[in-house]
Amino acid sequence: MPLSDSDEMPRHVAIIMDGNGRWAQMRGRPRLVGHHAGARRVKDIVRACPDLGVKYLTIFAFSTENWKRTQTEVAGLMSLFKRYIRRESQTLYEEGVRVRFIGDRVRLEPNLVDLMDNLELLTAGNDRVHLTIAINYGGRDEVARATRRLAQDVAAGRLAPADVTDETLPKYLDTCFLPDPDLVIRTSGEARISNFLLWQSAYAEYEFIDTLWPDFTEEEFATVLGRFATRERRFGAVPV
């Protein structure tokens, strides 16, 4: 039976793509070489999604904390994002991928933001795979920005304090268009979530795997998804 026929496959997979720097260092190369190798992996993983039954893929590309890195690395990553969007837009469009970005755009260069906006517009009619790319994203920052907008609505009388619930608050999050992730994968052996999708992952399953992101293949992706299918999700209830 093809994997995509199973009801048990995760519909929304989120990935913390970690280990690019170590991958490059192991080869005696600058960290940016690892980031470029990592970007190439993204293409294959996105392409593998439809056959694996993954409708939503969300990837962590740059965190609100990653500004603490050297100016060279940060600038190199921003150039890489621009290059990736320029080079991949047409293919993503043709392959039916709908691309959206989450994170705070205010701190990003205007020409990067323009490319992001254009790619969102270009692919707005697509529905085969929904790819969400997190750039300058932090879960705490997202909740703070959401709360700020929510407070503005309350102050303006558009929302009653009693209507602030766990159903209304997520409508203010960057991810308002996404279902919650079923599975969060982190590569590179670190077992932490580093401020990724804090609210949304309340009941996600987690897979921490040792492979460095530039070595992560479609085959390993399929294996990890297969393990997910064997897990029992209880959501706080007692299984009957």
Can you give the binding site for ligand IPE, defined by CB under 6 A?
Answer: 16-22, 60-63, 66, 77, 188, 190, 192, 194
Nearer to ligand IPE, 24 or 92 (CB): 24
Q: Which pair of structure tokens corresponds to residue 47?
A: 């392409």
The answer to whether the CB of 235 falls within 8 A of the CB of 210 is: no
Does residue 18 have an active-site annotation? yes
Judged by CB under 5 A, the residue of 18, 88, 95, 182 near Mg ion is 18
| Shortest reach from residue 181's CB to ligand IPE, in Å | 15
Closest to Mg ion by CB, 39 vs 178, is 39
Contact between 65 and 54 under an 8 Å Cβ cutoff? The reply is no
CB of 166 to ligand IPE, least distance (A): 26
Give ∠ CA 185-138-14 in degrees, rounded to 5: 20
- 195 in active site: no
* From the list Mg ion, ligand IPE, none, partner contacted by residue 145 (C-beta under 5 to 8 A by kind): none
Which residue's structure tokens are 């999050």? 173
Q: Where are the alpha helices (DSSP H) in the chain?
A: 20-26, 31-52, 71-94, 110-122, 139-155, 218-229
Closest residue to Mg ion: CB criterion:
18
Phi, psi of 130 (to 5 degrees): -105, 110
Nearest-angstrom CA–CA distance, 53 and 77: 30
Among candidate residues 18, 20, 174, 182, the one labeled active-site is: 18
Q: Which of 93, 208 has the CB closer to ligand IPE? A: 208
| Catalytic entry in 20, 51, 66, 127 | 66
Binding residues with Mg ion: total (CB under 5 A)? 1
Task: Return the structure tokens found at 141.
Answer: 């920052």
Crossing angle of the two packed helices 31-52 and 218-229, in degrees rounded to 10: 50
For residue 118, the SS3 value is helix
Is 20 or 200 the residue whose CB approaches ligand IPE more closely? 20
**Torsion angles phi and psi, residue 129, rounded to 5:** -135, 140
The yes or no reply on residue 23 touching Mg ion (CB under 5 A) is: no
Q: How far apart are CB 61 and ligand IPE at their closest, in Å?
A: 6
The helix or strand, by DSSP H or E, that contains position 134, with its residue range, turns out to be strand 129-137
Of 16 and 225, CB closest to ligand IPE? 16
Residues at the interface with Mg ion (CB under 5 A): 18
Annotated catalytic sites, by residue?
A: 18, 66
